[in-house]
Amino acid sequence: MRKISVFGATGSVGESTFDLLMRQGGPEAFRTVALTGGRNAKRLAEQALALRAEIAVIADEAALPQLREALAGSGIVAAGGSAALAEAADRPADWVMSSIVGAAGLVPSLAALRHGGTLALANKESLVTAGPLLMQTARNHGARILPVDSEHSAAFQSLRGEKIETVETVTITASGGAFRDWPVERLATATVAEASVHPNWDMGQRITIDSASMFNKALEIIETREFFGIAPERIEVLVHPESLVHALVAFRDGCMIGHLGAPDMRHAIGYALNWPERAHLPVARLNLAEIGRLTFASPDPARYPALRIAREVMAAGGLTGAVFNAAKEAALDAFIAGHIRFTDMAPVVEETLARMMAMEGIGKPATSLDIVLQTDRAARRVANETMTEMCKV
Ligand code: NDP
């Protein structure tokens, strides 16, 4: 029986993963090693009972008594805090879903690879903050990474059986987010509630806001570079409001292979769960005659400055990906808390990058998890100082 773990089981990707695991036989088909959540102990306990997990870990230790009570008598170990999370990540599994949001997902991603299993990677921050380290760890341990971000799963599927050196470009699509049709001048007034509504995808709040700013797409450009090892100038972004074409790969013979599907994460998750087979998945089928037309446009650089910043990050290399992600997370926290405006996020990230790049060692590649985590902490500190100065927090 396949041994599986899900990190971030209570989130949007985690719930879709849980749904597929249950539909594909639940505890009769999978031996669940670890399930983890951030704060939602009630839901984590329900999932752990349904899948008969060995251990359930809640990151927020304040929620541990609730988890313990809900799992009492079940034989499932209940644990809390970051050390318990790392311990759960160290338990070998054949298939690990990494779907914690943010840089916190890096620890379980790396641990899964060290055990030589298959890492289903939704946590794009792992590749953005420590791409070369992650890929090298996978190579060293004979582990496999399967992308779960829909665009990367789409490009991966379009590349099946192809040689990467025959690729001219990989295009990832973007819906354009909540403010695609707003006048650019209005963006400064955008509220958290307005930014938290996605036109097509049902996702966690943070990635939804990142879609409105296209910081999500900026992370995905870097993720594309790290995962496929393709040069930055060969990676393109197209605004595609229908969110039905997820990626397009152009080859040197002039052909383009694209991937279409309903905007439902269970497709990419199900593909990673069943790879190299294709299983029946409970996702909507597309009726192209009814859809009628698909539209594409180049992203407006004034509306989406994050895309330009991502290219500067790739040009700088080294630890700048970790700085970029941490600064973005700090700026997003501040926007959600009502401390800065939507349009302050990009300047905060740029200024943090400029200050951090003046520091020694930032241009050097990440050689260990510790260095990445140290850089992450330093960048958050600098981002917060930057916001105090720039935005009068
Ligand atoms: P959610 O916010 O919905 O879920 C995040 C999960 O991580 C939850 O289980 C949450 O726990 C847990 N969590 C949050 N903070 C911490 C922490 N500090 N330590 C440990 N666990 C934590 O996020 P999404 O599911 O939307 O996204 C997850 C990842 O997948 C992100 O990296 C995102 O970019 C990526 N992704 C998401 C897609 C989507 O459709 N949602 C699409 C493609 C990629 P709890 O809820 O219990 O607090």
How far is 237 from 242, CA to CA, in rounded Å? 15
Helix (H, G, I), strand (E, B) or coil at 348: helix
Per-residue model confidence (pLDDT) at position 392:
59
For ligand 1, say whether the CB of 12 is within 6 Å of any of its atoms. Answer: yes
- Confidence label for 92 from pLDDT (cuts 50, 70 and 90): very high
**Is residue 160's pLDDT more than 90?**
yes
**Is residue 375's pLDDT more than 60?**
yes
pLDDT in tens, 284-299: 999 999 999 999 999 9
DSSP 12-66: HHHHHHHHHHHHTTGGGTEEEEEEEESS-HHHHHHHHHHHT-SEEEESSGGGHHH
**Is residue 382's pLDDT more than 70?**
yes
For ligand 1, say whether the CB of 352 is within 6 Å of any of its atoms. Answer: no
For residues 221-234, one letter each, b for 16 or more C-beta atoms within 10 angstroms of the residue's C-beta and e for the rest, the string is: bbbbbbbbebeeee
Ligand 1, atom 7, lies closest to the CA of: 100
How far is 28 from 272, CA to CA, in rounded Å? 20
Average pLDDT for the chain = 96
How far is 104 from 228, CA to CA, in rounded Å? 23
Ligand 1, atom 2, lies closest to the CA of: 204
Nearest to residue 95, comparing CAs of 7, 204, 25?
A: 7
**Is residue 348's pLDDT more than 90?**
yes
Distance from the alpha carbon of residue 213 to the mean position of ligand 1, in angstroms:
18
Average pLDDT of the segment spanning 120-126: 97
For ligand 1, say whether the CB of 122 is within 6 Å of any of its atoms. Answer: yes
Average pLDDT of the segment spanning 326-352: 97
Nearest to residue 258, comparing CAs of 170, 348, 188?
A: 170
Prior bond to 276 cis, omega within 30?
A: yes
Distance from the alpha carbon of residue 97 to the mean position of ligand 1, in angstroms:
11
pLDDT in tens, 229-249: 999 999 999 999 999 999 999
The alpha carbon of 285 is separated from its chain's Cα centroid by a whole number of angstroms, namely 25
β-bridge partners, 170: 235, 249
For ligand 1, say whether the CB of 59 is within 6 Å of any of its atoms. Answer: yes
Atom of ligand 1 nearest to the CA of 43: 47
β-bridge partners, 34: 5, 55
Do 311 and 232 meet the contact criterion of CB atoms below 8 Å apart? yes
How far is 187 from 207, CA to CA, in rounded Å? 18
| pTM for this entry | 0.96
Task: Name the range with the highest mean pLDDT among 110-119, 197-206, 384-393.
Answer: 110-119
Supply the DSSP symbol for 297.
B
pLDDT in tens, 135-158: 999 999 999 999 999 999 999 999
Ligand 1, atom 41, lies closest to the CA of: 203
Domains belonging to the chain, first-starting first, are 2-147 (3.40.50.720), 152-291 (no CATH), 317-392 (1.10.1740.10)
How far is 48 from 76, CA to CA, in rounded Å? 8
Average pLDDT of the segment spanning 70-85: 97
Distance from the alpha carbon of residue 292 to the mean position of ligand 1, in angstroms:
34
Supply the DSSP symbol for 300.
P
Q: Which residue has the tokens 């996020």?
A: 345
